Structure 1
Amino acid sequence: LDVGPKQTVQQLSGGMKQKLAIAETVLQEADTLFLDEPTAMLDVDATEDLWNQIKDMWQEQTVLIVEHKVEHIWEHVDRVILMNHHGEIIADDTPQVILHQHEDLLTEYGVWHPKAWDHAPEAELLPNKDITSRFKYESGEVIRGKKTLIQVPELTIGDGEWITITGKNGAGKTTLLESMMQLIKYRGEMSYDGQPLHKINEAAKHMYLVYQNPELQFITNSVYEEIFINFSGESANAETEKLIELLNLEAVRDQHPFELSMGQKRRLSVATALSSRADIILLDEPTFGLDSHNTFNLLNLFQQRVAQGQTIIMVTHDPHIIERYPTRRIELRDHMLC
């Protein structure tokens, strides 16, 4: 944890909070540890470091892990327990036996096994060097107290781009998105189509932010209403139903957003963003906590939207996504946009 001992928990990034929670758990020195997706919000290096530490621990402790990113630990665990959608245990064996005998079920259930990315959608987008700039962020800087959170010498964004924002936990990725939406104070100049941006409502005319915690933006009492509210006219109902189907939310269309699973909440937050028809959609780790089916579905949907001219900007730690799909990659290194 690269922070001072007096740093408040509220000021930590999602990944840093996850590291802190794991540290507290390990320090209890319990005989058995239960870890529920402990690496979901960690960058690649932090994920590898964590598993190396836990592998040393489980020589003397029992560790039970609920994890989507099992490819990182598949070769090291003693047993894999496979459950179906009804919560029933259908297999319990060594990783080698599970992969050899049940690969079709792993794929069917959307489990992130070592061969899962063989079923991912093909990358269809190519970098476009002739993009006209719409959004500009120049000489940008966000400072909290005496600490510089991020520096943005220059950032230009056009139509039909898929941009990934990468960097270590605490690098300032979420801070960058929040500054673009005018949600936090910053220094520098920001504009859209040549018009200065200074207020939240000015940014919201062109951009839509999907938070890392989707609960922060739900405002209605059902999944259907949450999407429907952004549409108007005679086609509103049909367009709402289409997004519900595309995001695999049919079974929960009448449920309250806070009653959903984390994966369903995340898909609903993406659906509300897509229903907004914003020129630029900012997504803070949209695939976190999703199984392979829903992840691949989102990636395919993003490719379609970008091909239609919408711009997708997403924070992600997933190297498979970073290497395959974006038309451009932005990295935050030492709090500087590179």
Structure 2
Amino acid sequence: MGLELRGIQSPIFSEPIDFTFHEQAFTLLVGSSGSGKSSLFQVIAQVSSLPYSGQVLIDGSEVSQLSIVERVQTVGILFQNPNHQFTMENLFEELIFTLENIGHPLQEIDTKIAEVVRQCRCEAILNRPIHHLSGGEKQKAALAVLFAMNPRVYLLDEPFASIDRKSRLEILEILKELASNGKTVILCDHDLSDYEAYIDHMVELRDGQLREVFQIPSSEMTQVSSKEVASSPELFHMDRVTCELDHRPLFSIADFTIYQGISCILGDNGVGKSTLFRSILQFQKYKGLITWKGKVLKKKKSLYRDLTGVVQEAEKQFIRVSLREELQLDGPDSERNQRIFQALQYFDLEQALDKSPYQLSGGQQKILQLLTILTSKASVILLDEPFAGLDDRACHYFCQWIVEERNQGRSFLIISHRLDPLISVVDYWIEMTSQGLSHVKEVTITKPLISQSSNIQGEVR
């Protein structure tokens, strides 16, 4: 029987949804930003704040009629924002809390934790404070909690948004093994690279309806090159910059220059990329000197007129009650306001101006966040995972915008694990390790051969 949706109706779906997902299989769910994928997952897992009608059946049992303990052992969800997944101080305590709550035998908890930690390759983060973990490390921790519950159906909402490619492939291997062992795995993603060898099926949510897609995306490897080092003026210089986190050395940068233009920092999860951004923005303590255009960076109000950034979690950046106020559309800059209105029309968000930012989908929140920052007056913008939750169409739109702004003299420093939108955008590729930063002459990028922005309706039945 598997997972069956019968007559699911909600304000976000145009017509009732009737659909059966393949059981004991690994399915990729795709759809444009704001199409309702996260909302659908929340309805299936019975954690939706939106009203809906209809039935969600798993192996013939209606999920809404199950007890909470039965429910979490029947269908488990990994949220788009992993911070919504945790209640305890560290992963070890979170796993104990989870296993105790589902009634796992106390004498077997240590063995179960060891099994989950080995399966998810998260030994290094087991006892570290969750709020000190990187975005990718939090995703791994949230996945471990889901594995501990051992549900029959796994729902994973954008699990790779902040995860490096090595970890992505490891997790895909684990998920494929889960499906082979009889679990039903449904994963939502906008980045279609690497899936060909792992998934069994692909389903698209379009216009409020689910349809199976019969052409699974393939990928190809492409090489891109950096500009010659020092072919642009200096932007930042780092001299003996070191940083600690949890009383452990995080990174050490002896001597490195970032040049004006568009630079992208690559590196494994937990190496310190986001912490480096916080250091440049003077929100993180560090030792050594960071200079900007020859002057030592110091925390003062005037700095943030010229230097600003996008954090990984868009909702952390909102401070006003509506999109209209967040975008400051009542301001006198008519040219800026016109550009924002054009973008809102492009993304079909002009009707949402009086909504709270927290009523938007994850992808729509990211669009709002980028619009707010890209229309600021800052001459240097730091973007931490700017493509999380965005479909190809939105990625292309904002990459074009970034290139136009670079041509007007602005500089961008980007952290991203999703590299294919940046293939023709980046001037300088930079690799970060615990030993520091280094300019990379060539980077190999995995590029999906089918994009979500292309019309794949002809492939559905």
Provide the TM-score with structure 2 as the length reference: 0.62
1:160-171 matches, within 5 Å, as: 161-171=261-271
| 1:304 to 2:404 alignment | yes
Deviation string 1:109-133 (CA, Å, 9 cap, x unpaired) is xxxx447999xxxx9x966844222
Q: Tell me the residue number matched to 2:191.
A: 69
Q: Tell me the residue number matched to 1:326.
A: 426
CA distance in 1, matches of 2:157, 2:142: 11
Q: Rate the CA distance shift 1:2–1:313 in 2: closer, same or farther, 3 A.
A: farther
Deviation string 1:266-319 (CA, Å, 9 cap, x unpaired) is 111111111212111100000011111111111111111111111111101124
Q: Rate the CA distance shift 1:200–1:286 in 2: closer, same or farther, 3 A.
A: farther
**AA partner of residue 305 (structure 1):** E
1:1-338 matches, within 5 Å, as: 1=122, 3-60=124-181, 61-84=183-206, 86-89=207-210, 91-92=211-212, 97-98=214-215, 113-114=217-218, 129-159=230-260, 161-228=261-328, 232-233=332-333, 235=335, 237-245=337-345, 249-321=349-421, 323-334=423-434, 336-338=436-438
CA distance in 2, matches of 1:154, 1:231: 42
CA distance in 1, matches of 2:339, 2:203: 39
CA distance in 1, matches of 2:284, 2:330: 25
Provide the TM-score with structure 1 as the length reference: 0.83
**AA partner of residue 70 (structure 1):** L
Instruction: Kindly indicate whether the alpha-carbon contact (under 8 Å) linking 2:336 and 2:375 is maintained by their aligned counterparts in 1.
Output: no
Deviation string 1:228-283 (CA, Å, 9 cap, x unpaired) is 26954555543543454466642423321111111111111111111212111100
Please tell me the root mean square deviation across aligned C-alpha atoms, in Å: 2.8
Q: Rate the CA distance shift 1:297–1:4 in 2: closer, same or farther, 3 A.
A: closer
Q: Rate the CA distance shift 1:334–1:35 in 2: closer, same or farther, 3 A.
A: same
Which is greater in Rg? Answer: 2
Q: Rate the CA distance shift 1:59–1:224 in 2: closer, same or farther, 3 A.
A: same
Instruction: Kindly indicate whether the alpha-carbon contact (under 8 Å) linking 1:247 and 1:271 is maintained by their aligned counterparts in 2.
Output: no
What SS is found at the alignment partner of 1:286?
coil
Q: Rate the CA distance shift 1:40–1:238 in 2: closer, same or farther, 3 A.
A: closer
The number of aligned residues is 315
**AA partner of residue 320 (structure 1):** D
What SS is found at the alignment partner of 1:141?
strand
CA distance in 2, matches of 1:145, 1:230: 44
Gapped regions of structure 2 (runs ≥ 5): 1-121, 439-461
CA distance in 2, matches of 1:35, 1:236: 37
Instruction: Kindly indicate whether the alpha-carbon contact (under 8 Å) linking 1:44 and 1:317 is maintained by their aligned counterparts in 2.
Output: yes
CA distance in 2, matches of 1:248, 1:285: 23
Instruction: Kindly indicate whether the alpha-carbon contact (under 8 Å) linking 1:285 and 1:314 is maintained by their aligned counterparts in 2.
Output: yes
Give percent identity, aligned residues only. Answer: 25
The farther-off stretch of 216-225 and 290-299 is 216-225
The farther-off stretch of 172-181 and 288-297 is 288-297
Q: CA deviation at 1:2?
A: 5.3
Q: CA deviation at 1:189?
A: 1.3
Q: Rate the CA distance shift 1:298–1:234 in 2: closer, same or farther, 3 A.
A: closer
Gapped regions of structure 1 (runs ≥ 5): 100-112
**AA partner of residue 279 (structure 2):** S
What SS is found at the alignment partner of 2:338?
helix
